Structure 1
């Protein structure tokens, strides 16, 4: 039994017991071949819930600090996150984005599922922010379809992205997957910035439709800094 299978067997029932997640459109994730899952990002536990409810293992980029802790808590976190599919990458500095992109491409070239939050960071206020074009580069360079998804209610379970998740009335979670988006019509145009922006905006429009969030035409990092 793989560590991922073990973690799903251990934590999947707990997720259903405490949060009763409603999952819609799970059948939209292809059963095989490379797939990009692209969605909104409201709070820390998004990256815990997505791998546990997906029918295929989802690989995603995470901060390397999640796996470098030497305390007992740090080692448990490292065991869990690497087990569910997190790939630690040092994202600070000018090369962080390139490292994340190349890591995603390697995952897709192996025919696996790669998860990404196009906003680049958690939403500072629950609204949906402008997507970064790394998502477009991934799909155009790999030829993989994009399955958009929406996390709904996770920010009520873990407000601010910190602390233990809350359980109780009114805190039910919904994860909604849309139909795969095919961008093969743009093959070979992964260096055209207008194409990259058009592909990214199409993905974000679908995420907005699925999530029902208000859209803000600004990068979340800029909004957070302001």
Structure 2
């Protein structure tokens, strides 16, 4: 979309429920994203306009939460993220996260399970909860999804029965590479984001290990398949 269209879109996306600090961060960052990148969104109609929903995305860059937030807002929903609890201790970042209703994850502690309960509660309240199932950024040299994934998204989906919408980012790794401290604004980068059909988990019941593994496999297959389509390349063979 054009820069002007991207900027004007900012005024048509949901505002109520974003919280002051999260909303302020969006209003500051969105115009910069529109000016310094070419945004191409596809498939936003796949995201339900109301009711609890889980979104699962590939992960390439620290820029991903920014671009996925813009995409999700453009689709009519306010995303709630799971993020490291330590980020809440950073003064301004903590205000943005707390005000936006995001969910802290206390990794490696007895409180880590609280994030799962927080995500389940959010979905049951009708929220849109965002997951990056990979354990960090993609570790694949060609930027395909990692074989190393977490099953939290599958657990929340099976517990709540909420639809799981696969989302893929492409281009954020050139805007802000994983090892870079600052974004690479020139030449102007194209950021593609697309969604696919909800992942069918209807035949899986309960949250036993077999069901979780199968649900996670299906979600990551949907993400990889969608990314291959977006990139115009053949899907790589399964890893791990």
TM range (shorter): 0.7 to 0.9
Tell me which of 116, 123, 126 is aligned to 1:111: 126
| Mapping 1:25-104, distance limit 5 Å | 25-55=43-73, 56-69=77-90, 75-93=91-109, 96=112, 98-104=113-119
Tell me how many residue pairs correspond in the alignment: 210
Tell me which of 179, 201, 226 is aligned to 1:210: 226
What's the offset of the Cα at 1:84?
Answer: 4.5
Alpha-carbon displacement from aligned partner over 1:13-70 (angstroms, at most 9, x marks no partner): 221111122111111100000000001111112122212221311111111222212x
Alpha-carbon displacement from aligned partner over 1:119-148 (angstroms, at most 9, x marks no partner): 122123423113322222111100100000
In structure 2, what is the equivalent of residue 222 of structure 1?
none
In structure 1, what is the equivalent of residue 174 of structure 2?
156
Higher relative contact order (CA 8 A, sep 6+): 1
TM-score, with length taken from structure 2: 0.78
TM-score, with length taken from structure 1: 0.83
Tell me which of 198, 203, 213 is aligned to 2:214: 198
Distance in 1, Cα, partners of 2:236 & 2:187: 25
In structure 2, what is the equivalent of residue 175 of structure 1?
193
What's the offset of the Cα at 1:154?
Answer: 0.8
Between 78-87 and 49-58, report the one with greater CA deviation.
Answer: 78-87
| Mapping 1:134-153, distance limit 5 Å | 134-153=152-171
Distance in 1, Cα, partners of 2:155 & 2:67: 26
Distance in 2, Cα, partners of 1:92 & 1:68: 17
What's the offset of the Cα at 1:171?
Answer: 2.3
Q: Structure 1 stretches (4+) deviating beyond 4 angstroms?
A: 213-216
Show structure 2 runs of 5+ residues with no match. Answer: 1-15, 229-234
Distance in 1, Cα, partners of 2:82 & 2:182: 22
What's the offset of the Cα at 1:185?
Answer: 2.6
2:38–2:189 CA contact under 8 A, matched in 1: no
Distance in 2, Cα, partners of 1:127 & 1:120: 13
Please tell me the root mean square deviation across aligned C-alpha atoms, in Å: 2.2
1:40–1:118 CA contact under 8 A, matched in 2: yes
Give secondary structure in 1 for the equivalent of 2:117: helix
